[in-house]
Structures are given as C-alpha cells and as structure tokens.
C-alpha cells in the first residue's frame, strides 16, 4: 500500500513542479501496444523492453487534455481506495460518472496505462476485474470467511474471484489442467463428467478472450502444482490468438508478463491436422473470411511462432485450406466423441504440439 501511495505522490509532485515552473504538466506513459517495445523470451513470453518508446499525455493539447484529466481523476480514486483499504471494479469506476468517462473501454485503457506508468500490478491498485472465467475439477480451498469450496463435485462450477488468487491453501490431486476456449464446450465436458472419467484434472474457461483473473489463476496453478497445462481451442485464427494470450501474453499487458504467462502450455486441439486425420467432411468446415486471413497472417509473423515448428506447420495447414472448424464439429462423428474418444486418445498418446 505504501508503495502505491508513494508512486502516485511522485506523479502528483511532478505535476506540481511543472506548474511551479509555469510549464504545462505532462504524463509520460509507455507505448504499450507498439511491437517495437516488445521482446520475446522463451521463458516469459512477450515482455516490455526496459527502455521503450513513450507517449506524452499533455495537459495543454486539445487532443490529450481530456485523457490527462481522466488519468488524474482515476489516480485520485485509487489513492483514496488504497488509503481506506477499499476496492472497486472497473465497472464501478465507470458508473461513478459515466458522462465524465464516456466509455468503459476508456476507463480500462487508462487503468492499464496507470499500472504500466507506476510499474505496479493492476490488482495492487485496489481495482478488481469483473470476472467471467469458470473453474471446475479436482481443486479445493477455503474462503476468507471459512467456507470450504470444493470444485471436484461435477455440479460445482466456481467463478474465478480475484481475492482467491492470493490464497496459499489450494489443494489438488489433478494430473493436468485443461484450458477450454468456450463456455459451451466447457459445459459439455462437465455434463459428460470428463474430469473424473479420464484422470483427475482441473478445467478452466475464460469464455473467449481470458480476463486478467483467469490468466492469473492459470499461472497460479502452474506455480503451485507444476502439472501439464493443455489448451482446447477452435481450429481457427481466433482460437489460436486466445491460446497465445494464455501462453505468451498480450502486447498491451506485456509489462505484467512475469505474473501472467505460462509458456509451457501445450496445444492439445482442435488441431488443423486433426480435421484431415479424422476425415471431417468439408461441408462441416467454415470458409475463411478476409478477417480470418489477416489474423492468421499476423500470427504467423509473430516472434514466438519461429520457435514452434510444429505450430508453424499447423498454421500452414490452416492457411492452405482457408477453412476453420469449431470444436463442436466433432459431434458430426458422435455426440460424445470429444470426451469419450478425442481427448482420452490425445492425452494417452501425446497428440499435442
């Protein structure tokens, strides 16, 4: 807490010094979305370089003055919350003055800029993410009020909460973690009681692009248990992109890579090569859109693909076919093919890349 308060005080002190010298105050923020500021390391993923290019949020420029004011407003809210040991979600901050902030995305972007500028993880700023991720399987822990949470019962799906990410009492006998891209597939595996039938495991879904809490939990499970982590995604550029976020991180959050990425994650499925191997009918596949082609071309150029020859091969198969498939395509073989045949065989015979 004292570190956060001191960091904010230093920013305000800089502004006061500028005003005392009759200069327009300026906030200097790293260019988080610029690939030139990012380096790739096998052991960490995408991380921000120490001396990166920056942008200035000026108080005397019509284009940036509103953002300058909103940044100070959110800094003052963070300062009060840290002092009083209270918390707010990003939505709470936006709805505290919707006219002033304009949009939720503007608030989210400023909070990430502040975290990067202060060099303090976002969760230490007393700002909570509204969680959308779920976890189920061989995992149990005790909540702060003494409530025992057991995700092992197939009827129990736990929402991933930020306060649970600091716990040290996680208990699990899982043999692996399975990250599932979509909620529908996650629910299907729950209905089939998958995590009890094959071998004990933990299943997680970020329900699409994962939020911060879901990524933190995956990292925490890796740190705590050191068990294999597999990803189950659609065989399309969007699914590959989501898997890369879990494994290597995102450009915009590269300043927090050390806490968020798990480079050991394996791509279990759905692999483009699986579609041919399983004789999936072309009628069941979906043609690429222009957006898909652009997304795939962008992924193929990324630095981490060069050190993943098997991934590179899978992406080349996808690019050559210009066809994509959702995991649900496996139901064309049989309703429970995913949990009864596909995943057990993959896990037993090492069908991942």
Q: What CATH number is given to the structural domain containing 222?
A: 3.40.1360.10
Tally of structural domains, the chain: 2
Q: Do 113 and 190 belong together in one domain?
A: no
Same-domain status, 101 and 173: no
Distance from the first to the final alpha carbon of the chain: 42
The model's pLDDT over 147-200, given as tens digits with 9 standing for 90+, comes to 777 887 655 567 777 666 666 778 889 899 999 999 889 888 888 888 778 788
Q: Quick check: 264 pLDDT over 60?
A: yes
The three-state secondary structure class of 233 is coil
CA distance 283 to 347: 28
> β-strand 127-128 against 88-89: which pairing, if any?
parallel
Residue 217 sits in the same domain as residue 111: no
Band (36; pLDDT cuts 50, 70, 90): confident
- How much is the pLDDT for 319? 92
Are 261 and 151 in the same domain? yes
Q: What is the mean pLDDT of residues 302-315?
A: 88
CA distance 37 to 22: 32
Give me the CATH number covering residue 15. Answer: 1.10.10.10
Q: Average pLDDT for residues 275-280, to the nearest whole number?
A: 88
160 and 301 housed in the same domain: yes
The whole-number average pLDDT for the span 47-53 is 77
Confidence of residue 13 (pLDDT cuts 50, 70, 90): very high
339 and 213 in one domain?
yes
> Which of these three, 128, 149, 183, is where a domain ends?
128
User: Taking 90 as the threshold, does the pLDDT of residue 259 lie above it?
Assistant: no
Q: Is the pLDDT of residue 268 over 90?
A: yes
3-state secondary structure of 263: coil
**140, 258: one domain:** yes
% pLDDT > 90, the chain: 35
Question: What is the rounded CA–CA span in Å between residue 339 and residue 345?
Answer: 10
Percent of the chain with pLDDT over 70: 95
Residue 126 pLDDT > 90:
no
Domain end marker among 65, 96, 128: 128
Reply yes or no on whether the pLDDT at 140 is more than 90. no
Predicted confidence (pLDDT) per residue in 219-233, tens digit: 989 988 999 999 999
Tell me, yes or no, whether 100 and 248 share the same domain.
Answer: no
Are residues 341 and 249 both part of a single domain?
yes
Whether 28 and 139 share a structural domain = no
pLDDT tens digits along 317-341: 999 999 999 998 888 888 888 988 8
Q: Give the H/E segment covering residue 116.
A: helix 104-118
Backbone angles phi, psi at 26, to 5 degrees: -135, 140
Same domain, 341 and 255: yes
Same domain (yes/no): 69, 194? no
Task: Give the span between the Cα atoms of 57 and 75, in whole angstroms.
Answer: 14
How far is residue 47's CA from residue 288's CA, in Å, rounded to a whole number? Answer: 31
Task: Give the chain's mean pLDDT.
Answer: 86
Task: Answer with the one of 110, 128, 146 that is the final residue of a domain.
Answer: 128
Q: What is the mean pLDDT of residues 61-77?
A: 91
Compute the distance between CA of residue 59 and CA of residue 36 in angstroms, rounded to an integer: 26
Residue 107 neighbours by CB distance under 10 Å: 25
pLDDT confidence tier of residue 256, bands split at 50, 70 and 90: confident
Quick one: pLDDT at residue 166?
65
For 127, the enclosing helix (H) or strand (E) is strand 127-128
Cα 159 versus chain centre, distance: 15
> Taking Cα atoms as reference points, which of 79, 72, 103, 76 lies closest to residue 90?
103
Which residues span the domain enclosing 88? 1-128
State residue 153's pLDDT score: 64
**pLDDT for res 123:** 75
Would you please indicate which residues are annotated as catalytic (active-site) residues?
A: 95
Which pTM value belongs to this model?
0.78
Q: Is the dihedral of CA 282, 180, 46, 78 positive or negative?
A: positive
The count of other CB atoms within 10 Å of the CB of residue 274 is: 20
């Amino acid at each position: 807490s004292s570190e956060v308060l001191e960091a904010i005080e230093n920013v305000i002190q800089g502004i006061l010094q500028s005003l005392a010298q009759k200069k327009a105050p300026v906030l200097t923020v790293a260019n988080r979305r610029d690939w030139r500021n990012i380096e790739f390391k096998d052991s960490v993923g995408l991380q921000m370089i120490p001396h990166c290019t920056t942008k200035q949020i000026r108080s005397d420029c019509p284009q940036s003055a509103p953002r300058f004011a909103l940044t100070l407003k959110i800094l003052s809210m963070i300062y009060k919350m840290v002092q009083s040991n209270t918390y707010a979600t990003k939505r709470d901050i936006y709805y505290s003055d919707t006219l002033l902030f304009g949009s939720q995305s503007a608030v989210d972007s400023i909070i990430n800029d502040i975290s990067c500028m202060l060099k303090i993880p976002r969760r230490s700023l007393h700002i909570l993410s509204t969680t959308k991720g779920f976890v189920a399987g061989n995992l149990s822990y005790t909540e702060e009020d003494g409530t025992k949470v057991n995700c092992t019962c197939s009827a129990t799906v736990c929402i991933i909460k930020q306060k649970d990410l600091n716990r040290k009492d996680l208990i699990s006998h899982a043999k692996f973690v399975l990250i599932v891209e979509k909620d529908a597939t996650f629910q299907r595996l729950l209905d089939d009681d998958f995590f009890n039938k094959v071998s004990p495991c933990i299943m997680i879904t970020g329900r699409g692009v994962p939020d911060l809490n879901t990524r933190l939990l995956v990292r925490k499970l890796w740190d705590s248990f050191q068990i294999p982590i597999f990803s189950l995604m659609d065989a399309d550029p969007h699914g590959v992109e989501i898997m890369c976020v879990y494994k290597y991180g995102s450009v915009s959050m590269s300043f927090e890579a050390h806490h968020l990425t798990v480079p050991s994650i394996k791509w279990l499925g759905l692999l483009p090569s699986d579609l041919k191997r399983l004789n999936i009918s072309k009628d069941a596949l979906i043609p690429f859109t222009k957006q898909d082609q652009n997304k795939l071309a962008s992924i193929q150029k990324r630095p981490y693909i060069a050190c993943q020859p098997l991934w590179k091969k899978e992406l080349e198969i996808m690019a050559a076919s210009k066809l994509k498939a959702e995991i649900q395509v496996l139901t064309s073989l049989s309703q429970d093919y995913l949990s009864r045949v596909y995943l057990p065989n993959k896990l037993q015979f090492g069908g991942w890349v």
